[in-house]
Structure 1
Amino acid sequence: MKKYLLRIPLLIFGYCLFGISNADAQTVVKFGNSYVNLTKKTTGGTVEPGDTLEIRTNYFFPGGFNSGNIYYVRYVDNIPTGTTFLPSEGIRLITNEGLIVNNYTAASGDDPAAYKAAPGASEFNIRINIGINTSNVGTLSTDQATGGGNVKPGTHKPLVAGGTLITTAFRVKVTGAIGDIITLGAGKLKYKTINSSSSGTDQIVNAIRYKIVISQNTPICENAVGKNFAAEFGGTFGSGNSQNRDVLPTDLPVPGYTRRTLTPSSEINDGYYTIVNNLSPRASTYRNALKKPNCGSTTPPNVLACGNRMFGGHWDIIGDHTGSTTPAGNDPTAPNATGGYMLVVNSDYATGEAYRQNITGLCPNTSYEFSLWVRNVCTNCGIDQNGTQTMKPGVMPNLTFAIDDIDRYSSGMVDTVGWIKKGFMFKTGPTQQNIVISIRNNASGGGGNDWAIDDIALVTCNPNLTMLPSATTQVCRGNNVDISCLVRSFFDNYTEWTWERSTDGGLSWQNTGVTGSSTATPDGNGQYEYRAVYPRFVASQSDNGTKYRFRVASTVANLGEQDCSFLNVTTIQIKVDECTILPTKLLGFTGQLVNGAANLKWKTENETEHTVYEVERSTDGRDFVKIATVNGVAPNAGSSYTYTDTKASAGSNYYRLRIVEAEAKSYSKIILLSTKPEFALRNLINPFSSQINFDIITPEKGKADIRLIDLYGRTVKQLSVNLAQGQNDIFLRNLGQLSSGVYVLRIQVGEKVINKQVLKTNSTH
């Protein structure tokens, strides 16, 4: 069976609804439950031993619900497995932003909340009596109605969108071990629609008992490659010349949310989403328009006017992320111009599942990355518990990623720092080919939690394969040839390997019969590694030009599947020379393109009689053919030589000199001449610890601006280098003080730019 990554559709947002029959009031209660990893609140990550989690539930009652009154409101819950309650943190009612409304002690009898370490039958660890006219919680911690309070939706705080949003919270410390599963408690809110503790039916809202795997926190894959099978135009949402993307036959429904076209008179309220290439309701392209509370009297079409922003002075004016290398992202698209789209969400009042997708056809025991780019689009949307605007960011977006309904990763609070990549890696089981991926929105809407996403990706997380000693290995005839491959990955699963060989320049490949299974061991930098060695052999002339490549997989079966095994893009080519030391010394070899012809120049000294210079050309830098012979003219001295190649191929041409003296020969360095305005990055050592080493290939001299950029868009290292024509060996040194994580290596020569994601690890050696 051929295995690969299947398409992933658009994120699907949802929340839970609870209906009450009542003719004179709104009938829907929105509710959800979540948790926040406070230890990784700002950075995000997995749940690890020792982390502090805040367990939350929230319930939105619209104004006027049940004629403006609900009775005997109380909340009960149990402590999640694999954790211990933190009594010093108390038990809380909070706003959707996480600010404290009421902070109760864990003791019984002194306030409307209590913790009981060893509850009896029909009892719970946690009880909170909510509202006015509550009783203190005693030693008996059941879910009985007595003691619960009265809540007036739309009158009692915290107020959100004309209703009341009740959010409960308590904190626990993770005590389980790596690999253990935490299961949330059986939390529930109970209330009555009549003012009687002994009659009438309790209305019950049950929390979902989410499961969380305790796992090591690792960064996202720095070597995630392969085709991205995400739907919605490969996860980019496509592009177009209208501000709002058309409704397409391939559009997927977004249950619980309503898609809205963005216009000056139709903005994106709570519970709505849009797909646009410019987030200004008036399609303004000026990012720095005024914001509330500093609007003044300026009005559109003045570019400074607050009215160019959502809700008359709030959301950012931005474009999408696709192709951008900075947190600012792309500029907002001008009217009638073509620009990339993004999905923008104004979250609903209650937390809930944000995405669910069945995926089939995956490779067993293989590493994958699921990620996206997200942006908090409002710096001044916050409200307090009275519903009054604070002009602060307010509720921060917070997303939890799950595999097969077991939580694996939390994004942390997404601050107003621009576009940022969030995601995680996972490994399929030994025979697993199907999974269910889901994402939950952990934060309530109303007063913030407005965000955009773009560039959704589900891709394989490939191992790093470093061929040794180099891409082209020159050896002397009769000497030993030693080649190997260093395999490094975040997981220890890529253990099966084989060597392949080509004798026709890479047109076809054959299995050498050299296969193996190796044990990957920790490298001290948070990854696993091993070295696979090809058996030593003695170089003969028949080996000249032979290429070798290395294939690796996680199982023997995967090794035979092209889509489930991995090849290094770099091959090793054996060049066999006689290796006689020549008297002639080559002092320099340069070239220049003039009117499409390659003018080559070289200078020598100490020539011998009958020295011959053979000019060789290649279009790939590996396979060379002789195009000319130039006889030496200065025995026992030196001279300057030129040769013009008038038949250079369009694009890139590599040149070298083969210096022949009788039966001996040697080669010059390789130079590159190209008609294309391109350059290349090669031989990057990735991940890095204290320095980054790589080669820049350039067809002409120039100056390179080299920057190392963190995920917040800050330049943490900068280097300016004068480049020679051809290959340039570059080092970025003194990087040991940088924090571990993902960075972007940016190389610019003139208007040409290369961006490469690199990983910083902290060596323990």
Structure 2
Amino acid sequence: MKKTLPVLFLLRLRNHGITFICFLVAAMGNLSAHGQTVTTGKSYINITRPNGGTFLPGDVIEIRATIAVTGGNNTIASRLNSVRYNDTLNLAKLDYVPGSLRMISNEGRLQYAYTDNADADSANINTVTGQLRFNIGDNAGSSDVSSQGEGTVNSGRLWGGNYFRPSFFGNTCIRVYAYRVQIKTLASAVAIDTTVILRAGNFRYRMGSSTTDVLSGFSPYQVRITPDYGLCTNAIGTNAILGEFGGTFGSGLTQNRAGGSTFVPGPYTWVAFGANSPNDNYYGLANRTSANGSSNPNAAMPSSARVFTIWDIIGDHTGASNPLAGNPPTGLGYAVIINASYETNRAFTQNITNLCEETYYEFSAWFRNICRRCGCDSTGKGASNTGYVPAPGNDSSGVRPNLTFQIDGQDVYNTGNIAYTGQWVKKGFIFRTRPGQTSFTVTIRNNAPGGGGNDWAIDDIGVATCMPSMQYSPSLTPSVCRGNALTITDTVRSFFPNYTYHRWQRSTDGGASWFDIGSILGPATTIFNGLLYQYVSTYTVPPANTTPANSNDKYRVLVGTSILNLLNLGCRATDVTNAVTL
């Protein structure tokens, strides 16, 4: 979430990864050097699952509130005054992690650690009420949330430029105030398939000489507690995403697919690739990510062929022979490329219908961090500047993308920070529909603060069932003596013990049509073989159906997660390639 309050008319230009703020003459012809832009955002990361996962009891979550100020100076009329941040923990569901009040950079680097107590420093938490407060900026005094509440006492002041640390390229002050909570472990407090609310919190400040508070206007997050099954280890079914060429965004001869995508909601705005675009809060839809149409992934660094002279030049992901490498920028396939800002905006959303009840679906997508030198250290030096101090591990990519997957407005999965590797990575989770549920809305949301970095590509978005596998016995083409009974079996294996209703079918016309044999069977009792759940379905072909006239008769098994699903053509499963043929 971000709120921007321009005091004057502003023009944003970006070059070499640096944002310049140029102040334009207003209608009256006045030129001011004291205008300010204030940007705020709130996000979180799951510390317990740095490589991605769902949310479970015991997970430690770091809440991050960001404020960025550009322009102004240290005069009362030209700065932010009375700056503070207040929040209240949901103590019914969360435990505060002692000693975790901190100020960090937008890349997560520690700037200052506060004590929890109401003492000399400018942060305090009351662990009984869950209320916390940061007094922010120049002249900020000691914090005592119990006595100061949301008032202005001991609050500080901020302005842009290179006075404060951390500084963003010397013209913007970006500060991130963070604290950690742990999801309670007692089932009586937090159970599977329940929701934990991360409350909104607010920055409060006053613009110049105003005596009226401006609030950041954050909204709470709803975090769903759900088991972490990873991704389907077996085959997956047909993609339920029907629009945008099944989540692949199609292909074309031109570099930019004009008009953007309805899958990417506002405030992200489509723009063609260029020297300085897409910029913050814009996105591109292209078959190569170069600034000038170049298809050379090995262009010099920096180079005018690269967006901001430093972005990777890549192609899309769909159908790549090497899924990690993706396609070269000589192909025709399109991908969406997001330049995320401080807002936790939605990058993709769609309502999915015609789903099957009580069925497990994999919701996944492929992502790629596309900038390896977008970082900016706390002194304002960019990764291409002399004296730049890289992040731990000699990382100069800047803010790492971090995405949250939602189902019906609830946060269910977090990707973790996506490091720059020069490769694509698949992220996603498995979700089970409720009894009677046949639709849901899926959303992917930016969950990282803005600044240098947080530039990423997304492709091959999918929602598909985790399908069972089938193994027939004694073989796919058994022989039987005329007039003898034949027992055939099918070992049904699945990622979950849910495809337990089954029915045999027979075809007498080579598989052109099928008819049911007997009644529906189940629910079968499954056993876990160390990798998958399985059970065996058995049918005995009677002697009357083992005559020479029955040669080439076929038999197969249908499976479903419920009787209703077994009767539904769109919700039952079978092996479409193999069947038993006499």
Q: Tell me whether the two structures share a fold, i.e. TM-score over 0.5.
A: yes
Mapped contact 2:120–2:141 kept (Cα < 8 A): no
2:20 equivalent in structure 1: none
- Structure 2 distance, partners of 1:413, 1:485, is 43
Task: Give the number of aligned pairs.
Answer: 532
- Structure 1 distance, partners of 2:491, 2:580, is 17
Correspondence 1:402 to 2:406: yes
Mapped contact 2:363–2:464 kept (Cα < 8 A): yes
- Structure 1 distance, partners of 2:355, 2:534, is 24
Could you tell me which of 136, 143, 166 is aligned with 1:137? Answer: 143
1:341 equivalent in structure 2: 334
Mapped contact 1:382–1:395 kept (Cα < 8 A): yes
Could you tell me which of 359, 362, 378 is aligned with 2:352? Answer: 359
**Shift of residue 49 of structure 1?**
2.8
User: Is the partner of 1:147 in helix, strand or coil?
Assistant: coil
- Structure 1 distance, partners of 2:193, 2:218, is 24
Q: Which structure has the larger Rg?
A: 1
User: Is the partner of 1:40 in helix, strand or coil?
Assistant: coil
- Structure 1 residues 648-688: Cα deviation after superposition (integer angstroms, max 9, x where no partner): xxxxxxxxxxxxxxxxxxxxxxxxxxxxxxxxxxxxxxxxx
**Shift of residue 316 of structure 1?**
1.1
**Shift of residue 487 of structure 1?**
2.8
Code of the aligned partner of 2:207: T
- Structure 1 residues 52-110: Cα deviation after superposition (integer angstroms, max 9, x where no partner): 2111122333323995311221112223453321114x201211111112211222214
1:750 equivalent in structure 2: none
- Structure 1 residues 706-727: Cα deviation after superposition (integer angstroms, max 9, x where no partner): xxxxxxxxxxxxxxxxxxxxxx
Q: TM-score, normalised by structure 2?
A: 0.84
Distance 1:109 1:522, change over 3 A: farther
- Structure 2 distance, partners of 1:91, 1:67, is 31
Could you tell me which of 548, 554, 574 is aligned with 1:547? Answer: 554
**Shift of residue 278 of structure 1?**
1.7
Code of the aligned partner of 2:369: N
Could you tell me which of 243, 262, 274 is aligned with 2:273? Answer: 262
Q: TM-score, normalised by structure 1?
A: 0.65
User: Is the partner of 1:557 in helix, strand or coil?
Assistant: helix
**Shift of residue 111 of structure 1?**
1.4
**Shift of residue 389 of structure 1?**
0.9
**Shift of residue 462 of structure 1?**
2.0
User: Is the partner of 2:308 in helix, strand or coil?
Assistant: helix
- Structure 1 distance, partners of 2:354, 2:378, is 48
Mapped contact 1:280–1:309 kept (Cα < 8 A): yes
Correspondence 1:481 to 2:483: no
Q: How does 1:40-59 map to 2 (within 5 A)?
A: 40-41=49-50, 43-59=51-67
Correspondence 1:443 to 2:448: yes
1:188 equivalent in structure 2: 202
**Shift of residue 412 of structure 1?**
1.3
Deviating more after overlay: 253-262 vs 272-281: 253-262
Distance 1:128 1:358, change over 3 A: same
Mapped contact 2:36–2:72 kept (Cα < 8 A): no
- Structure 2 distance, partners of 1:473, 1:559, is 27
1:316 equivalent in structure 2: 312
Code of the aligned partner of 1:255: G
**Shift of residue 28 of structure 1?**
5.9
1:127 equivalent in structure 2: 133
**Shift of residue 262 of structure 1?**
1.9
Mapped contact 2:133–2:145 kept (Cα < 8 A): no
1:288 equivalent in structure 2: 298
- Structure 2 distance, partners of 1:503, 1:544, is 9
- Structure 1 distance, partners of 2:465, 2:479, is 34
1:504 equivalent in structure 2: 509
1:646 equivalent in structure 2: none
Could you tell me which of 304, 324, 327 is aligned with 1:307? Answer: 304
Correspondence 1:232 to 2:244: yes
Mapped contact 1:280–1:310 kept (Cα < 8 A): yes
Distance 1:385 1:523, change over 3 A: same
Correspondence 1:108 to 2:118: yes
**Shift of residue 20 of structure 1?**
7.3
Mapped contact 1:32–1:352 kept (Cα < 8 A): no
- Structure 1 distance, partners of 2:574, 2:364, is 23
Mapped contact 2:133–2:144 kept (Cα < 8 A): no
Correspondence 1:419 to 2:424: yes
1:529 equivalent in structure 2: 534
**Shift of residue 443 of structure 1?**
0.9
User: Is the partner of 1:140 in helix, strand or coil?
Assistant: helix
1:560 equivalent in structure 2: 567
Distance 1:168 1:525, change over 3 A: farther
Distance 1:95 1:500, change over 3 A: same
Correspondence 1:216 to 2:209: no
1:8 equivalent in structure 2: none
- Structure 2 distance, partners of 1:525, 1:28, is 57
1:676 equivalent in structure 2: none
Code of the aligned partner of 2:40: F
Code of the aligned partner of 2:510: G
Could you tell me which of 518, 526, 537 is aligned with 2:523? Answer: 518
User: Is the partner of 1:567 in helix, strand or coil?
Assistant: coil
Code of the aligned partner of 1:135: G
Distance 1:85 1:527, change over 3 A: farther
Code of the aligned partner of 1:324: A
Q: How does 1:725-764 map to 2 (within 5 A)?
A: none
**Shift of residue 401 of structure 1?**
0.3
Q: CA RMSD in A?
A: 2.8
- Structure 1 distance, partners of 2:266, 2:109, is 30
- Specify every segment of 5 or more residues in structure 1 that has no aligned partner in the other structure, as ranges: 1-14, 293-305, 576-765
Distance 1:253 1:506, change over 3 A: closer
**Shift of residue 395 of structure 1?**
0.8
2:381 equivalent in structure 1: 388
Distance 1:384 1:144, change over 3 A: same
User: Is the partner of 1:562 in helix, strand or coil?
Assistant: coil
**Shift of residue 156 of structure 1?**
3.0
2:328 equivalent in structure 1: 331
- Structure 1 residues 538-565: Cα deviation after superposition (integer angstroms, max 9, x where no partner): 5732654321111112222222211111
- Structure in which a larger fraction of residues adopt strand: 1
Code of the aligned partner of 1:395: V
User: Is the partner of 1:348 in helix, strand or coil?
Assistant: coil
Distance 1:307 1:442, change over 3 A: same
- Structure 1 residues 714-755: Cα deviation after superposition (integer angstroms, max 9, x where no partner): xxxxxxxxxxxxxxxxxxxxxxxxxxxxxxxxxxxxxxxxxx
**Shift of residue 526 of structure 1?**
6.3
User: Is the partner of 1:386 in helix, strand or coil?
Assistant: coil
User: Is the partner of 1:239 in helix, strand or coil?
Assistant: coil
- Structure 2 distance, partners of 1:183, 1:525, is 36
2:46 equivalent in structure 1: 37
- Structure 1 residues 466-500: Cα deviation after superposition (integer angstroms, max 9, x where no partner): 33343222344566533233333333432322111
- Structure 1 distance, partners of 2:273, 2:337, is 11
Mapped contact 1:373–1:421 kept (Cα < 8 A): yes
Code of the aligned partner of 1:85: Y
Distance 1:72 1:347, change over 3 A: same
Q: Which of the pair has the greater relative contact order for Cα pairs under 8 Å at 6+ separation? A: 2
